[in-house]
């Protein structure tokens, strides 16, 4: 993608800032963020940063492409205040797309979630039956339904990207997420500072950990190919938390045992295992994850191990 005017909502956040910074090399990029989990410090000086909420009027949607990543992105955020969660994740999405449509933008790429697949050790394809058990999952499914409406009624092109456990580590924009950061980032930071990583249950839950650089490439390719519909972005490989701790110990040169605690999230809503079937995305764009998990662990630990 080059020579485009682009809006990234949630552009001061973890994934959004990485995307905005990557796009800014060849495009005119606006990063919009309300400052909750994002900050202007995450974006480069080549990016125009606007502190606004996606539920407001007169957004800077006079662009060629909208990447809509703004969201309250965890179970806890929604269960604390389901109405606020719905307002940001659903109303914010509809409001942004509607303003973009009025401004003549017909290409939107937006964030959905892999959580709706539930707990599965087998790779999850986009066409399998899904269900929602949390307010967070309901809000992302609502986005997908509204995207279908916008596509059918207004002939807009909307690509919903179901992310699988995105990570980078505290050496990048993920640090600003703090307690909401990926477990890899939290574990690495704890262990590098001599503290035990805290694992829910027995630590045997698995995740398809996908490095943010691969997610960013997928988002850009979705826009470049003007994809429509729903697509998974994940590696197709899964690792349990015990293995993550072992690999972090090896990379950090530490020997720290995890602390096991009771899972505070109810068993009937906790997603124990995830794994992506990304064959649809691969067929549509040629996208492949390029950062192996071993390399990703190395990148996460680099800020602590580099002299």
Q: What is the pLDDT of residues 79-138, one digit of tens each?
A: 889 999 999 999 999 999 999 999 999 999 999 999 999 999 999 999 999 999 999 999
Provide the pLDDT for residue 89: 97
CA distance 8 to 1: 14
Q: What is residue 99's predicted lDDT score, i.e. its pLDDT?
A: 98
Rounded average pLDDT over 259-274: 93
Domains of the chain: 5-164+210-233 (3.40.50.720), 167-207+237-305 (3.90.25.10)
Distance in angstroms (rounded) separating the CA atoms of residues 210 and 251: 18
CB 65 within 8 A of CB 109: yes
Structure tokens at 284: 């549509």
What is the overall mean pLDDT for the chain?
96
Q: What is the mean pLDDT of residues 214-224?
A: 98
306: confidence class by pLDDT, cuts 50, 70, 90: confident
Quick check: 151 pLDDT over 70? yes
CA distance 291 to 251: 16
Binned at pLDDT 50, 70 and 90, residue 30 comes out as very high
The SS3 of residue 167 is strand
Burial per residue of 130-150, b for 16 or more beta-carbon CB atoms within 10 angstroms, e otherwise: bebbbbbbbbbbbbbebbeeb
pLDDT of 187-202, one tens digit each? 999 999 999 999 999 9
Mean pLDDT value of segment 243-247: 98
Q: Which has the higher per-residue pLDDT, 175 or 208?
A: 208
Angstrom distances, CA of residue 274 to CA of 98, 129, 210: 33, 15, 11
The residue that leads in pLDDT, 267 or 275, is: 275
pTM of the model: 0.97
% helix / strand / coil in the chain, to the nearest 5? 40, 20, 40
Q: Please say if the pLDDT value at position 289 is more than 70.
A: yes
Residue 307: per-residue pLDDT: 60
- Sorted by sequence, the CB contacts under 8 Å of residue 95 that are 6+ apart come out as 54, 55, 56, 59
Q: Where are the beta strands (DSSP E) in 16-97?
A: 28-33, 48-51, 65-68
Distance CA 237, CA 41 (A): 33
Buried b (16+ CB within 10 A) or exposed e, 91-118: ebbbbbbebbbeeebbbbbbbbbbbbbb
């Amino acid at each position: 993608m080059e020579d485009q005017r682009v809006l990234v909502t949630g552009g001061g956040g973890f994934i959004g800032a990485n995307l905005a910074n990557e796009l800014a090399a060849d495009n005119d990029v606006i990063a919009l963020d309300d400052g909750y989990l994002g900050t202007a410090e995450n974006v480069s000086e080549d990016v125009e940063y606007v502190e606004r909420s996606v539920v407001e009027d007169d957004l800077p949607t006079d662009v060629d492409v909208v990447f809509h990543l703004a969201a309250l992105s965890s179970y806890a955020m929604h269960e604390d205040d389901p109405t606020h969660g719905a307002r940001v994740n659903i109303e914010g999405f509809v409001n942004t797309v509607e303003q973009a449509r009025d401004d003549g933008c017909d290409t939107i790429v937006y964030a959905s979630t892999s959580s709706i697949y539930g707990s599965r050790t087998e790779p999850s394809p986009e066409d399998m039956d899904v269900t929602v058990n949390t307010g967070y999952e309901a809000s992302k499914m609502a986005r997908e339904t509204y995207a279908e409406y916008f596509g059918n009624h207004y002939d807009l092109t909307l690509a919903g990207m179901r992310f699988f456990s995105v990570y980078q580590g505290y050496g990048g924009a993920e640090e600003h997420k703090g307690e909401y950061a990926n477990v890899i980032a939290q574990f690495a930071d704890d262990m590098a500072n001599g503290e035990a990583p805290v694992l829910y249950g027995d630590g045997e839950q698995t995740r398809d950990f996908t490095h943010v650089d691969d997610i960013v490439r997928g988002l850009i390719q979705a826009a470049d190919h003007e994809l429509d519909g729903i697509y998974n972005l994940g590696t197709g490989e899964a690792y349990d938390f015990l293995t993550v701790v072992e690999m972090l110990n090896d990379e950090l040169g530490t020997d720290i045992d995890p602390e096991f605690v009771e899972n505070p999230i109810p068993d009937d809503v906790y997603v124990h295992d995830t794994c992506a079937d990304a064959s649809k995305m691969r067929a549509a764009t040629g996208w492949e994850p390029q950062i192996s998990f071993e390399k990703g662990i190395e990148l996460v630990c680099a800020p602590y191990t580099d002299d």
